[in-house]
Each structure stands twice: as C-alpha cells, then as structure tokens.
C-alpha cells in the first residue's frame, strides 16, 4: 500500500480508488477552455442560467453572425432608451437647481453634467459586458462568456467595452470578422477573451 501523501485529508480507501482511477486512465478533471457542445442535455455547463431557466434549455452553440447582428441592433435601441431616460432624469433634477443659483454662480457643473449624460451608454455597456448579457441578449438567447464558460466579470467586461472601438471604426470590420472565425469571435471578443453563445431551447 502506498503511503498517503495527502495525510488525514484522504482516507486509505479513497487513495486506493484514486490510484485505480489513474491506472485506468481516468485522471482528474481540470478546467478547459469553453467549447459549446452543440445540442446537448448536459445542463451543468450552462453556468450563466438562472434556476428558473435551467429546465428549458437543451444546449448551446456559438452564436451566428446574423443572430448577433439582430442582438446588436436591439442593444442600440435599448441603449438609446437608457440614454434618454438618463438625460431626462438629469435634466429634471438639474434645471430646478440652476434656477436657484445666482447669476454670477460658477458654471463648471454644466460640463460635468453633460459629460455624465454622454457617458451613460458606456456605463450601461460595461455592466452588460461584465454580467454577460444585455436586455436584447436575454430576449434573443445570447450570452457572452469568459474562457471557462462563466460570466466575463468586471475586468473582461471593461476590456470588451473599450475594445468595441477598434471593432467599429474600420467600417465595422471587427464585427464581420466573426463570420469567418472558428469560434465566431469578433475583434473585441478576441481582445477580451470572450465568446458569444446562443442557448438552444
């Protein structure tokens, strides 16, 4: 019997079973890069699914460029609505405030408010990218995932948001690049290490 290298954390019987598994070539599980298996009943890999949705999802695959285009257009509409609501709310609070200021009051607050309103879409996109879904993405069963299939997170979400600029500027070439990429990644996906999947229902 081999000496237990893990001490009391593993019993002798458990060590025997582990040795048998290694000899049989089973090995130990280790994290692997995310690879959607296509249509499947293995729901354990759908790490972004809420419990209420888990029973209705049959599998997943890389999102097609056409479906991503539809989702992106819907996201533009959603961001426009969010921006308008932010603008209207800021104006509703700022206008009464400015009417109470004396005529010689400093006006440095105005540029700050304008900058805040203009940046609302950026903050919204950052949140969407960090959590891996947007309202449009949820409606079209699209999710952005990180390397191991979980939500991208704050850091990757920020990188993905900033990387939209080089994807958009050359006539949207960074988006169309997904059409011929094996994992359907756009430029901003490759930079951030993310992938967009479609949940199959």
What's the CA gap between 197 and 35, in Å, rounded?
10
85 in Cβ contact with 150 (< 8 Å) = no
Q: Taking the chain, what is the end-to-end CA distance rounded to the nearest angstrom?
A: 51
pLDDT at 6: 46
Categorize the per-residue pLDDT at 192 as very low, low, confident or very high, splitting at 50, 70 and 90: very high
pLDDT at 187: 94
138 three-state secondary structure: helix
pLDDT at 61: 87
Of residues 135 and 102, which shows the higher confidence score? 135
pLDDT at 97: 72
What's the CA gap between 26 and 41, in Å, rounded?
22
Of residues 89 and 51, which shows the higher confidence score? 89
What's the CA gap between 163 and 159, in Å, rounded?
6
Backbone angles phi, psi at 145, to 5 degrees: -130, 155
Beta-carbon neighbour count of residue 149 at 10 Å? Answer: 20
132 in Cβ contact with 112 (< 8 Å) = no
pLDDT at 107: 64
21 in Cβ contact with 160 (< 8 Å) = no
Ranges 12-16, 22-26, 37-41, 48-52, most confident: 12-16
Least confident of 73-77, 87-91, 94-98: 94-98
Least confident of 89-103, 120-134, 140-154: 89-103
pTM, 2 dp: 0.66
């Amino acid at each position: 019997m081999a000496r237990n290298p893990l001490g009391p954390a593993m019993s002798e019987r458990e060590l025997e079973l582990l040795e048998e598994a290694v000899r049989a070539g089973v090995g130990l599980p280790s994290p692997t890069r995310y690879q959607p298996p296509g249509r499947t009943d293995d729901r354990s890999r759908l790490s972004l699914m809420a419990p209420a949705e888990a029973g209705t999802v049959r599998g997943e695959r890389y999102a097609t460029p056409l479906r991503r285009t539809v989702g992106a257009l819907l996201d533009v509409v959603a961001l426009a609505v969010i921006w308008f609501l932010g603008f209207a709310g800021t104006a509703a609070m700022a206008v009464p405030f400015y009417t109470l200021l004396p005529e010689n009051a400093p006006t440095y607050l105005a540029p700050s408010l304008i900058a805040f309103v203009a940046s609302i879409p950026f903050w919204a996109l950052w949140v969407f990218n960090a959590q891996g879904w947007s309202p449009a993405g949820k409606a079209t069963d699209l999710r952005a995932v990180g390397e191991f299939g979980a939500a991208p997170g704050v850091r990757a979400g920020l990188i993905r948001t900033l990387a939209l600029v080089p994807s958009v500027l050359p006539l949207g070439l960074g988006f169309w690049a997904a059409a011929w990429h094996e994992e359907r990644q756009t430029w901003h996906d490759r930079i951030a290490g993310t992938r967009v999947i479609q949940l199959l229902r």
